[in-house]
């Protein structure tokens, strides 16, 4: 089924100082659709990571650091062109690693992966800086202005749910701002990052500007990279617990940090909503990509007068989801990323049942009677009936699941939604304009959607509060993180 997957049956290598580098240790890259091995991956050791950091530092102080902004941006446009020239290879690799549908990979993941380079290459040309005329006692005055410089060597650690899209979401602004990078993709999804290294090589990216290391977290490439004294900043998207570990590793060097972490996102559905739009939008926000998106909604609060009707309508949507092969045009949802992650998700399902939850639909593993039974699939699942302190209501599951609770008043809904250690995103469904503004502004999150979900303007700030992250990404917010302003004061 995946005959066109690049490097199938071979080895995915690290990319350091302009060369593809092997390793004495490899690990298997597994297809989550049927459990088969796609290829082997070279695991970077401490020496390989050190060589990557050294190469990045030399490039920063060499040709890359001397390159004009126009030349740098033109090169990033060539990277985008290079991704598009090998579009089918990227799509096949993304599907093989994640099991997501052909439709999603070709319309979202790979196009956005290319577009990120163009967006930030163009945006950095208009990056502004402050300038002040300052009075002085002698009346002559002074001029204060800031110039933006690169942070330096940046470690970019990307997750497995949107592998190319989220990797380039960090890489593109880091490179546009003049930094050099060492990228570490998730061990679950190494393929498109390796293809990107090939594109970087093909378009003539200067040696050492982009480096790629494969491996795991503790005791592997992730730990070697985040604790390395030669790394100036770390940007990471993933679990909150991993973010905490990275923060500790980076503390001694007082490194710059940008984290987009987990979410236990709430959706509030008022009885004055457009019912069909709310049901359709909520079905998307719960089950898209098998619930494996940090922005997915796992907690739903529905006004009591429409509670039963809404639960039944969402149940019908969940049961209509077609779970299938990535290349099947009728497929709506693929597998979870791995058997290990499926075991985690199923443990939450079992815990919810033990706590007395009512299973509205799902709660188990689908049976296909073909090779997919060796994959990591779970059923779209809806629970009701649990208290707010239940584990599945408090902790991020990262699967196709939600728990639905009724509420009576607006104040109660706001309190329930904000009663979380996380604060990434929220959705509000109402036709009352005043309520929409009032409730959205009370949400303790980084992004609040009203009558929609996953609608993004890439110029806007994106990130979370509480356990959901540190800092903001998107537009100038990304460029500001990857830039170090130096104030220059000139006496006139």
Residues facing residue 470 across a β-bridge: 259
- Look-up: residue for tokens 């009724």? 406
Active site includes 294? yes
Contact present, 30 and 342 (Cβ < 8 Å)? no
Contact present, 316 and 270 (Cβ < 8 Å)? no
* 419 alpha carbon, distance to own chain's centre: 24
Q: Print burial letters for 251-260: b (CB count within 10 Å at least 16), e (below 16).
A: eebebbbbbb
Nearest to 189 by CA among 336, 326, 22, 83: 336
β-strand 297-303 against 401-407: which pairing, if any?
A: parallel
C-alpha–C-alpha distance, residues 257 and 238, integer Å: 13
Q: Per the residue annotation, which of 260, 298, 396, 484 is the catalytic one?
A: 260
C-alpha–C-alpha distance, residues 147 and 484, integer Å: 8
Q: Print burial letters for 397-406: b (CB count within 10 Å at least 16), e (below 16).
A: bbbbbbbbbb
Torsion of CA 302, 304, 306, 307, to 10 degrees: 60
Residues facing residue 299 across a β-bridge: 266, 403
Which DSSP string corresponds to 26-37?
EEEEE-TTT--E
DSSP state of 44: P
- Look-up: residue for tokens 């898209």? 288
| Distance set, CA 469 to CA 29, 50, 196, 258, 262 (Å) | 29, 27, 27, 8, 8
Active site includes 198? no
Nearest to 124 by CA among 194, 90, 73: 73
Residues facing residue 145 across a β-bridge: 131, 488
Q: Per the residue annotation, which of 73, 273, 294, 296 is the catalytic one?
A: 294
β-strand 210-212 against 233-237: which pairing, if any?
A: unpaired
Residues facing residue 490 across a β-bridge: 143
Helix residue ranges, H only, 400-474: 410-418, 433-442
**Which positions are annotated as active-site residues?**
260, 294
């Amino acid at each position: 089924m995946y005959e066109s997957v690049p490097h199938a049956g071979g080895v995915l290598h690290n990319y350091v100082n302009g060369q593809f580098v092997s390793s004495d240790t490899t690990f298997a890259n597994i297809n989550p659709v049927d459990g088969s091995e796609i290829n082997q991956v070279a695991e970077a050791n401490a020496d390989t990571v050190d060589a990557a950091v050294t190469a990045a530092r030399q490039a920063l102080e060499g040709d890359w650091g001397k390159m004009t902004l126009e030349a740098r941006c033109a090169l990033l446009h060539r990277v985008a062109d290079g991704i598009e020239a090998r579009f089918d290879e990227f799509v096949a690799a993304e599907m093989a690693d994640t099991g997501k549908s052909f439709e999603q990979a070709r319309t979202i993941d790979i196009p956005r992966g290319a577009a990120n380079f163009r967006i930030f290459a163009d945006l950095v040309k208009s990056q502004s800086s402050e300038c002040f005329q300052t009075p002085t006692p002698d009346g002559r005055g002074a001029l204060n202005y800031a110039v933006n410089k690169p942070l330096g060597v940046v470690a970019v650690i990307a997750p497995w749910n949107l592998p190319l899209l989220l990797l380039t979401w960090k890489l593109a602004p880091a490179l546009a701002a003049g930094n050099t990078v060492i990228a570490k993709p998730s061990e679950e999804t190494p393929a498109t990052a390796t293809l990107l290294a090939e594109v970087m090589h093909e378009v003539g990216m200067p040696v050492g500007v982009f480096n790629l290391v494969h491996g795991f977290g503790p005791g592997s490439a992730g730990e070697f990279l985040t604790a390395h004294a030669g790394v100036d900043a770390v940007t990471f998207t993933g679990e909150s617990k991993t973010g905490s570990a990275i923060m500790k590793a980076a503390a001694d060097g007082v490194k710059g940090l940008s984290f987009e972490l987990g979410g236990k996102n709430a959706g509030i559905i008022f009885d004055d909503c457009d019912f069909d739009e709310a049901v359709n939008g909520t079905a998307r926000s719960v089950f898209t990509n098998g619930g494996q998106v940090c922005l997915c909604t796992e907690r739903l609060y529905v006004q009591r007068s429409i509670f039963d009707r809404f639960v039944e309508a969402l149940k019908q949507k969940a049961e209509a989801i077609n779970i299938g092969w990535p290349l099947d045009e009728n497929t709506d949802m693929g597998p979870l990323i791995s058997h290990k992650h499926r075991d985690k998700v199923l443990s939450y399902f079992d815990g919810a049942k033990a706590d007395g939850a009512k299973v509205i639909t799902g709660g188990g593993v689908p049976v296909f009677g073909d090779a997919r039974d060796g994959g990591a699939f779970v059923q779209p699942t809806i629970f009701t009936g649990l208290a707010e302190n239940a584990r599945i209501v408090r902790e991020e599951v990262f699967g196709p699941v939600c728990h639905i609770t009724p509420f009576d008043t607006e104040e109660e809904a706001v309190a329930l939604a904000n009663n979380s250690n996380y604060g990434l995103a929220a959705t509000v469904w109402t036709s009352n304009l005043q309520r929409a503004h009032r409730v959205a502004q009370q949400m303790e999150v980084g992004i609040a959607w009203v009558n929609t979900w996953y609608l993004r303007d890439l110029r806007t700030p994106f990130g979370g509060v509480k356990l959901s992250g540190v800092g903001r990404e998107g537009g100038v917010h990304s460029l500001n993180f990857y830039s170090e302003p130096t104030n220059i004061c000139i006496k006139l």
